[in-house]
Amino acid sequence: MIELYYAEDDGNIAGVVKEYLEKKNFKVTVYSTISGVRQALENHVPSVILLDWNMPDGRGDGLCHWIRSRWKELPIIFITVRGDSQDIVSGFQNGADDYVVKPFELSVLHSRLKAVLRRSGNAAEQYLSCDGIMMDLSRRTVSQGAEEIELSASEYELLLYLLQNKGRTLTREKILEQVWDVNGNFVNDNTLTVTMKRLRDKLHQPSCLKTVRSVGYRMEDTI
């Protein structure tokens, strides 16, 4: 299923688009404000963004620019009204991939969405997230909100393994095997304890990274 965030303050239009696209194997989450989209993106990155240009709390070009500064490959299609050529120019200047003009045919919107997803290769797969902690796998970076977090190689691999298995409890033995022993490096149990403590400190003790007593650890969304 293709996950889509849709910024639209007209509930009637949003409902029609959501119903149509969900029949086409999309999972659509509608946001009525730009701030709502921004907050959602800080916790999780979808496959594509559909953005109405005129929102109650701002314009779409500002949101496009903000998204591009953080997720360069995330596809964005904006929706504008007929005749607003300046909006179209501004949209592309700020990073949008394509646009549709109101009123639009739902089949045309679906075709545009499929086209940008083909070009992007589902860029969302390169981002892993939990409660605002975001990993960009292509750039090998970790951020928390606007802050980029510097991790050691072992800290990075530990966080990667936890995020790849988000929602699952991982035993200490399994983590040691996957993160360290997979490279043929002998380590003892204390290595994991020390590395986990350093990771938690750098991530400001996140509530989404949980200790399962006498078993191991689990990472799961809490907000």
Same domain, 109 and 205: no
What is the per-residue pLDDT for 160? 97
Same domain, 100 and 131: no
Domain count within the chain: 2
Same domain, 111 and 135: no
43: tokens are 């916790």
What is the per-residue pLDDT for 184? 57
What is the per-residue pLDDT for 133? 93
The pLDDT profile of the chain, 223 residues, written as one tens digit per residue, is 899 999 999 999 999 999 999 999 999 999 999 999 998 998 888 999 999 988 999 988 899 999 998 888 899 999 988 666 777 778 888 889 999 998 899 999 999 999 999 988 767 778 999 998 999 998 899 999 888 999 999 999 999 999 999 999 999 999 998 998 766 566 778 899 999 999 999 999 999 999 999 999 999 988 7
Domain CATH for 37 = 3.40.50.2300
Same domain, 87 and 154: no
Residue 92 exposure: Cα atoms within 13 Å on the Cβ side: 7
Same domain, 75 and 185: no
Q: Where is the domain boundary, 121, 149, 167?
A: 121
Same domain, 137 and 215: yes
Same domain, 26 and 76: yes
Q: Where is the domain boundary, 92, 121, 150?
A: 121
Would you list the DSSP string of 151-218?
--HHHHHHHHHHHHTTTSEEEHHHHIIIIIGGGT----HHHHHHHHHHHHHHTTS-TTEEEETTTEEE
pTM of the full predicted structure? Answer: 0.79
What is the per-residue pLDDT for 125? 79
Q: Where is the domain boundary, 75, 91, 121?
A: 121
Same domain, 109 and 183: no
Same domain, 9 and 109: yes
Instruction: Print the domain residue range for 134.
Output: 127-219
Q: Which residues contact 185 (CB under 8 A, 6 or more apart)?
A: none
